[in-house]
Chains A and B, each alone.
Chain A
Amino acid sequence: MNFLIWTAKRLLALVLTFIGITLISFFVMHLAPGEPMSLQADFNPKMTPEMRQRLRAQYGLDKPLYVQYAKWFKGLVQLDLGRSFSPDRRKVWDKIRERLPITVLINVLSMILIIVVSVPLGVRAAVRQNSLFDQVTTVLVFLAYAAPAFWVALLLMLFFGIELGWLPVSGVHTLMGYEHMNTWQKIMDWARHLVLPVFVSAIGGLAGFSRYTRSSMLEVLRQDFITTARAKGLPERTVIYRHALRNALLPLITILGLSVPGLIGGSVIFESIFAIPGVGQLMWSSVMARDYPVLMGNLVIVSVLTLLGNLLADVGYAAVDPRIRTGLQETE
């Protein structure tokens, strides 16, 4: 019950944060000099001030800002993100919906990759602190922090795609003959195309997460109950994986939730490099076209995903950590 109240409170805070995000992005975007019209106008010598005014009115840009926001927000509540400013005038949600699955797929895959690789890595580095293994991973972490992800992507394309010819360097599936493949071949084809994008989007997370796992493990290993477990004569494996790791993983859940924005933000870059038709690419093209509704729609979707990630992390944290649950009951 208390857990429910706590979740409800978190949800309320989330909704407020969400409204804050839309407010800030809406006003920042609209207060910035330059507007959608100037792109069409600058290249059209016949554009008169009256025509410009008419266009502004057509898009609703002539009204005061708070009226525009209220109108936009009213649409949002009815799950209507408006229509794109681009000539096709399609619904923003339709544009995003068709691109969302691939972006989510890549981000989920790289999240899985991050957890599967960096947790064992961090545990090993912590258990053998200052060993050669620890030092090598530390150097790798520093390099991964400093390397621009898009550059690593270029190098991997150069090496695996061009030099060795093992992996395709763009798109999500082969263009020629894709229809004639059977299901298994199609899956393999997708997998071959997604290897590099997933790896590239995971690099930053791999570095950060193995680092956090290491320091979290080091902290737990110093505590008394670990000494107790060892004194009981438990095998070292059990001590590390059953007793230490379970406790060390708790703070990592929160960090995983916090890393969602960075992961999704990376989509813009790797989708542009690997020519993946996802939300990141849509964001980029709507920036280029100064398409307000699509930009706002993207920000909304991305921040909803991020907030959901944070909420999941919080709930997961409370669900696995009895101290938080009991703490809740005491305070309520």
Chain B
Amino acid sequence: MEAAVTIQRSRSRTGAFFSVLFSNPLALSGSVIVIILFAAALLAPVISPYDPQAIDTFHILEAPSMQHWLGTDSLGRDCLSRLIYGSRISLLVGFVAVGIATAVGTVLGALAGFYGRWVDTLVMRFVDIMLCFPSIFLIMAVIAFLEPSIWNIMVVIGLTGWMGVARLVRAEFLSLRKRDFVLAARISGASNMMIVFSEILPNAVAPIIVSATLGVGGAILTESALSFLGIGVQPPTPSWGNMLTEGKDNLEIAWWLSVYPGLAILITVLGYNLLGEGLRDALDPRKK
């Protein structure tokens, strides 16, 4: 009986969340974009008209046509197919890099906020240092010594992007650790670990989700910039960034190589940003 009531309540809560989220046209369009991207990445082999790696020397640098909707590149590969496969890279990079950043940021922020004092000072100074220099320079310096591979890129982007989450989680912990419910848990014998994970952290989940969603866009932009510079995802694996490198090399003769991959990045990042903003409004109790 009681369980049924809880389920009922949580369902209506979820319902309320989605109705707020989808009543905002921007958030709705963001969600649609993200869902389409997921579908494209998962169904890439099914929906791609051609093999993205298939070289066709008889049809190089062809402008968009009925056969090749988005044209072909300098090896005669179909751009639309490469674009669809490229969405896999963006999706993977976005999620893994942000996952790493969120995990690191949450742990460090929780440590700083929960223990305070010198732990806090140490972590926050570290955050200041990391915020103080252009992360792309650090990323490049590290990547210079690693094999340029998608996994290295994701780890490095993740490890240079955790500062925002850390600040956010710390602030949440600072404001919550002295509250009555934490005291109550402590009196009833909860360990530090239990207090951190089951009492305080759940309160910080909403802002973490919002910042992670907004972070996905940033990670995708960084990956595309690195791949564009030739130190990210390596050809022949298609990524939107390295497709644009080819666009740059053929700028004067094949405009379509430069236009479409960038448009794909723009729409993807826009989708995540809109969804993130929408989530912020939907998850913020003050806005209801």
Contact = CB atoms under 8 A, between A and B. Distances in A.
Interface of A: 16-17, 20-21, 24-25, 28-29, 32-35, 142-143, 145-152, 154-155, 157-158, 162, 258, 261-262, 264-266, 268-269, 272-273, 283-284, 286-288, 290, 295, 298-299, 302-303, 306-307, 310
Interface in B134-176: 134-138, 140-147
Contact of B125 (A20, A262, A284): A20
Interface stretch (B59-67, B200-208, B220-228): B220-228
A310 B225 contact: no
Contact of B134 (A142, A154, A302): A302
B146 A299 contact: no
A28 B145 CA distance: 10
B229 A268 contact: yes
Contacts of B147: 34
A162 B145 contact: no
A148 B258 contact: no
B144 A288 contact: yes
B136 A265 contact: yes
A261 B258 contact: no
A80 to B, nearest CB: 20
Given A162-B252, A273-B248, A148 B266 contact: yes
5 contacts: A147-B262, A148-B269, A283-B137, A286-B144, A310-B132
Interface in B83-135: 125-126, 128-135
B247 interface: yes
B38 to A, nearest CB: 18
Contacts of B142: 28-29, 32
A147 B270 CA distance: 8
A28 B141 contact: yes
A154 B261 CA distance: 12
Given A261-B133, A268-B229, A148 B273 contact: no
B231 interface: yes
Interface in B246-286: 247-248, 251-252, 255, 258-259, 261-262, 265-267, 269-270, 273-274
Contacts of A287: 140-141, 143-144, 231
Contacts of B138: 25, 28, 299
Q: Which 3 residue pairs of A and B lie closest in terms of their CB atoms, listed nearest first?
A: A265-B134, A151-B262, A32-B145
A155 B132 contact: no
Given A146-B270, A287-B231, A35 B145 contact: yes
A269 B133 CA distance: 16
Given A154-B258, A287-B141, A290-B145, A146 B269 contact: yes
Contact of B141 (A16, A154, A295): A295
Contacts of B141: 25, 28-29, 287, 295, 299
Nearest to B214: A145
Given A34-B147, A148-B266, A150-B225, A306 B134 contact: yes
B143 to A, nearest CB: 7
A273 B251 CA distance: 12
A56 to B, nearest CB: 15
Contacts of B215: none
B244 interface: yes
A146 B244 contact: no
B223 to A, nearest CB: 10
B238 interface: no
Contacts of B248: 154, 273
Contacts of B132: 17, 21, 261, 303, 306-307, 310
Contacts of A147: 262, 265-266, 269
Contacts of A145: 217, 269, 273
Contact of B224 (A25, A148, A268): A148
Given A147-B269, A290-B144, A303-B132, 12 more contacts: A24-B129, A29-B142, A148-B262, A155-B259, A158-B251, A158-B255, A261-B131, A261-B132, A265-B136, A286-B144, A288-B231, A310-B132
Contacts of B265: 146-148, 151
Contacts of A303: 132-133
A290 B247 CA distance: 27
B37 to A, nearest CB: 13
B70 to A, nearest CB: 15
Given A143-B270, A151-B266, A162-B252, A298 B258 contact: no
Interface in B182-232: 217, 221, 224-225, 228-229, 231
B133 A306 contact: yes
Contact of B225 (A34, A154, A269, A299): A269
| A151, A162, A302, A310, most chain B CB atoms within 10 A | A151
B274 A269 contact: no
Interface in B47-94: none
